[in-house]
């Protein structure tokens, strides 16, 4: 299904309520417009660091939780209520669209995604079919309900990027070295290209479903792409991520692109077409500014491990992130990667308030 601009539902756009949604600090920062305060959200803000999340998830498998609109909505709202973050991120997982097209996979606690039959040849790749909106009705339903509940607070939709999805599919699970992935990429470029084409189409459709239901920004997670050299990224990954960003351009929804260990790749992640580049904690934001395209906002980048240090250290490091971010045109405060499961929720709550106070104009 191709959704043109005109075909896009008006929920949250062009209606009276949309004036404040479109004027929210988060969307304004993504668009590099002046903000009343630096907006804050946290990657993996919904999840195991929250006792109310653990309670709700008792006896419910991760992928089952991701297919129940009532659970999706409640878990998405939990960090919004507790932390007062400037944006909600849809509760799901990057593996959900793969599961929805019939890939036999599970998400195991403490391990991550595990794929029963890893993808290794063309026949395996050809079994991967396209995603249709009807494959994920629970996503459409949950996003629609959340957008109504969130009002002028933006909902961020997301998907895994083709490389990171390919790595899980080919390795069969989490991987430190991505050796089978690289073996396929180097040794069977035609199979690689076909796999990346199919994953790009799946990712685009998963994002379009969320946008059509009212998500007002999207983040493409290429979490493990830092395993690649810039040359390999440019030749074997960038074209597919760029294809996705290009097709999202007409939706007027800010596009965020994030990966871990991507210091050497920031320029290319930006070149792929993002409006906002997410930076991990290894590259100071004032240096990151010099690596991305002009007219690109930055998101990041406090080291999530810093939240385990005394508050005075958290405050000092946060001040440093904010000071360096002044070099950027637009800044969305976030961690340099996801919230670690044993993080104290009280520290995250205090951090949101701290960033808001320090940056209030
Ligand atoms: O950010 C949010 O709060 C929204 C929800 C979200 C989840 N996964 C929920 C989740 C998002 C945005 C993701 C994305 C995701 N999933 C990524 C990209 C982000 C990143 O961290 O780099 C990746 C690589 C995955 C794959 C995945 N799913 C991993 C590595 C794990 C952790 C496994 C573990 O238990 O250590 C998951 C499971 C997962 N996804 C959990 C949550 C809340 C934990 C499952 C649980 O609570 O039982």
- For every residue of 272-327, DSSP letters joined together read TT-SEEE--TTS-HHHHHHHSPSS-EEEEEE-GGGGGS-HHHHHHHHHHHHHHHTT
pLDDT < 50 positions in the chain: 1-17
Binding positions for substrate:
44-48, 93, 168, 223, 337
- Position 174 scores a pLDDT of 97
Burial of 273: CB neighbours in 10 Å, binned 0-12, 13-18, 19+: buried
Q: Which two tokens stand for residue 293?
A: 């395209």
- Position 225 scores a pLDDT of 98
Nearest Cα residue to atom 7 of ligand 1: 93
Q: Which of 152, 165, 154 is nearest to 204 (CA)?
A: 165
Is 329 known to be catalytic?
no
What pLDDT, in 10s, does the model give residues 261-283?
999 999 999 999 999 999 999 99
- Is 0.85 surpassed by the pTM of this model? yes
Q: Give the rounded distance of the alpha carbon of 215 from its chain centre.
A: 12
Residues counted in the chain: 361
Is 83 known to be catalytic?
no
d(C-alpha 205, C-alpha 355), whole Å: 35
Is 68 known to be catalytic?
no
Q: Which two tokens stand for residue 259?
A: 């990966």
- Ligand 1, CB within 6 Å, residue ranges: 43-48, 57, 62, 89, 91, 93-94, 107, 109-110, 112-113, 158, 221, 223, 338
Q: Is 256 helix (H, G, I), strand (E, B) or coil?
A: strand
Q: Which of 107, 183, 125 is nearest to 116 (CA)?
A: 107
Q: Which of 220, 117, 85 is nearest to 164 (CA)?
A: 220
Give, to the nearest 10 degrees, the angle between helix 69-83 and helix 137-150.
30
Of 11, 31, 48, 317, the active-site residue reads 48
- Give the number of the atom of ligand 1 that is nearest the alpha carbon of residue 62: 48
- Position 149 scores a pLDDT of 97
Q: Which two tokens stand for residue 106?
A: 């599970």
- Position 334 scores a pLDDT of 98
Summary mean pLDDT of the chain: 94
Is 44 known to be catalytic?
yes
DSSP letter string, 91-120: ---TTHHHHHTT--EEEETTTEEEESS---
């Amino acid at each position: 299904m191709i959704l043109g601009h005109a075909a896009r539902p008006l929920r949250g756009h062009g209606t009276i309520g949309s004036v404040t949604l479109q004027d929210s600090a988060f969307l304004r920062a993504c668009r590099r417009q002046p903000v009343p305060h630096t907006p804050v959200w946290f990657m993996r803000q919904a999840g195991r660091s929250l006792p109310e999340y653990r309670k709700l998830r008792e006896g419910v498998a991760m992928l089952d939780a991701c297919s129940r609109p009532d659970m999706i909505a409640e878990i998405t709202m939990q960090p919004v209520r507790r932390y007062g973050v400037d944006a909600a991120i849809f509760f799901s997982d990057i593996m959900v669209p793969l599961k929805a097209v019939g890939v036999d996979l599970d998400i195991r606690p403490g391990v991550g995604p595990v794929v029963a039959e890893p993808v290794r040849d063309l026949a395996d790749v050809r079994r991967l079919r396209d995603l249709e909106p009807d494959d994920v009705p629970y996503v459409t339903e949950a996003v629609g309900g959340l957008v109504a509940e969130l009002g002028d607070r933006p909902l961020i939709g997301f998907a895994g990027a083709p490389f990171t999805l390919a790595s899980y599919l080919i390795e069969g699970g989490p991987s430190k070295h991505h050796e089978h992935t690289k073996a396929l990429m180097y040794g069977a470029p035609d199979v690689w290209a076909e796999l990346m084409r199919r994953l790009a189409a799946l990712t685009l459709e998963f994002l379009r479903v969320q946008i059509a239901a009212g998500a007002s920004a999207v983040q493409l997670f290429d979490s493990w792409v830092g395993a690649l050299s810039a040359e390999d990224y440019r030749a074997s990954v960038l074209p597919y991520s760029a294809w996705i960003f290009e097709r999202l351009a007409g939706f007027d929804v800010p596009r965020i692109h994030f990966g871990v260990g991507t210091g050497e790749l920031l320029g290319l992640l930006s070149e792929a077409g993002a409006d906002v580049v997410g930076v991990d904690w290894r590259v100071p934001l004032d240096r990151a500014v010099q690596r991305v395209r002009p007219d690109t906002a930055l998101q990041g980048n406090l080291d999530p491990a810093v939240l385990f240090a005394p508050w005075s250290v958290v405050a000092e490091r946060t001040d440093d992130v904010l000071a360096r971010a002044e070099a950027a045109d637009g800044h969305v405060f976030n961690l340099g990667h996801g919230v670690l499961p044993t993080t104290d929720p009280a520290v995250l709550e205090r951090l949101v308030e701290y960033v808001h106070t320090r940056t209030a104009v």
